[in-house]
């Protein structure tokens, strides 16, 4: 099944990294900034895992529309990985030690998930993680979660969010073509949920202690923000993805991506 959003294209990030980034770029507060920083640390290696998992089955896909979507998907995810590595440079300039975490994260991801799981399970994990990223993207574009973000981070994340929505069906459609097994889909979803939560928390545990001695406190709204991640990403993702008839296109949020890309002249 190829969703209505049949055409999209890779774009370079509309971001001026030269403007820099304040240490607490989201609302001037440490906790929400690091909740966002933590998931950002997962993106480059994750995006490349997605590309490899989908590309593994390129010769099994004969639908011209889906093949075109796959090509654009590879381009978009490649741009995302490179852009977030530029974001890492800004974090390093702020004095954050992130490289030990990144090395450990990639080692666990590659030696654990990639080497031990079958290609079909890796594809299933990718489809599930793409559902989670599409939910995060919807929140970024519709719920005002980035309203208080610094322009550099805001431009990066909204561009990324729009493209995540554009290509949110690709990995799922490849999985349905390769192996439509519900059991495989749910096993991939369970592994995706476990690893996303584990790595996100681990990154947060690395970042937050680096604020010690700076007098930072977590106001109540910060805890509310983290609760919204649990509710609007993880719990909603579970509720939707376990339906046997689920397809990513059932979440009608393509218009959010179109509106934002039109706003920045990148439609």
Mean pLDDT confidence for 4-30: 87
pLDDT recorded at residue 110: 86
pLDDT tens for each residue of 178-196: 999 999 999 999 999 999 9
pLDDT recorded at residue 158: 97
What is the C-alpha separation between 10 and 140, in angstroms, rounded?
20
What is the C-alpha separation between 240 and 245, in angstroms, rounded?
10
What is the average pLDDT value for the chain, to the nearest integer? 91
Mean pLDDT confidence for 152-179: 97
pLDDT recorded at residue 215: 54
pLDDT recorded at residue 6: 62
> Which of 171, 169, 168 lies closest to 57, judged by CA?
171
pLDDT tens for each residue of 70-79: 999 999 999 9
Is the predicted pLDDT of residue 35 greater than 90, yes or no? yes
CB contact at 8 A, 253 and 165: yes
Q: How far apart are the first and last CA of the chain?
A: 24
pLDDT tens for each residue of 102-138: 999 999 988 888 889 999 999 999 999 999 999 999 9
Residue count of the chain: 267
> Which of 255, 120, 137 lies closest to 184, judged by CA?
120
pTM of the shown model = 0.92
Give 209's Cβ-side CA count (13 Å radius): 7
pLDDT tens for each residue of 51-106: 999 999 999 999 999 999 999 999 999 999 999 999 999 999 999 999 999 999 99
Residue ranges of alpha helices (H) inside 62-210 are 64-93, 99-108, 115-116, 119-142, 151-166, 170-178, 182-207
> Which of 135, 170, 153 lies closest to 86, judged by CA?
153
pLDDT recorded at residue 227: 52
Crossing angle of helices 30-55 and 99-108, in 10° steps, is 40
> Which of 30, 54, 45 lies closest to 178, judged by CA?
54
- Name the maximum alpha-carbon separation found in the chain: 58
- Residue 13 to residues 16, 43, 68, 161, 264: CA-CA distances in angstroms? 9, 15, 21, 11, 11
Q: In this structure, what token pair is assigned to residue 3?
A: 């969703």
What is the C-alpha separation between 20 and 38, in angstroms, rounded?
18
Q: In this structure, what token pair is assigned to residue 253?
A: 């949020």
CA angle 66, 73, 92 (to 5 degrees): 170
pLDDT tens for each residue of 210-267: 987 555 554 444 444 555 778 888 999 999 999 999 999 999 999 999 999 999 998 7
Is the predicted pLDDT of residue 4 greater than 80, yes or no? no
Q: In this structure, what token pair is assigned to residue 16?
A: 């001026």
Mean pLDDT confidence for 152-170: 97
């Amino acid at each position: 099944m190829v969703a209505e959003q049949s055409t999209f294209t890779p774009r370079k990030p509309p971001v001026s990294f030269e403007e820099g980034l304040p240490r607490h770029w989201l609302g001037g507060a440490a906790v929400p900034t690091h909740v966002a920083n933590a998931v950002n640390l997962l993106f480059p290696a994750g995006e490349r895992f997605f590309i490899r998992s989908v590309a593994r089955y390129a010769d099994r896909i004969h639908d011209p529309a889906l093949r075109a979507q796959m090509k654009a998907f590879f381009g978009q995810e490649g741009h995302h990985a490179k852009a977030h590595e530029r974001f890492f440079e800004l974090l390093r300039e702020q004095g954050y030690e992130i490289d030990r975490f990144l090395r450990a994260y990639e080692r666990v991801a590659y030696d654990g998930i990639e080497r031990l799981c079958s290609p079909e399970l890796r594809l299933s994990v990718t489809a599930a993680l793409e559902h989670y990223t599409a939910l995060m993207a919807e929140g970024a574009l519709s719920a005002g979660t980035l309203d208080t973000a610094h322009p550099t981070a805001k431009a990066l994340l909204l561009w990324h969010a729009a493209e995540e929505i554009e290509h949110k069906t690709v990995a799922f459609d490849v999985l349905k073509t390769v192996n439509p097994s519900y059991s495989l889909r749910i096993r991939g979803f369970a592994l995706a949920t476990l690893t996303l939560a584990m790595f996100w928390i681990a990154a947060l545990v690395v970042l937050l202690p680096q604020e010690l001695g700076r007098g930072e406190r977590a106001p109540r709204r910060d805890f509310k923000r983290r609760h919204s991640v649990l509710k609007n990403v993880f719990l909603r993702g579970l509720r939707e993805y376990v339906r046997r008839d689920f397809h990513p296109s059932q979440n009608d949020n393509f218009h959010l991506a179109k509106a934002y890309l039109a706003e920045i002249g990148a439609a």
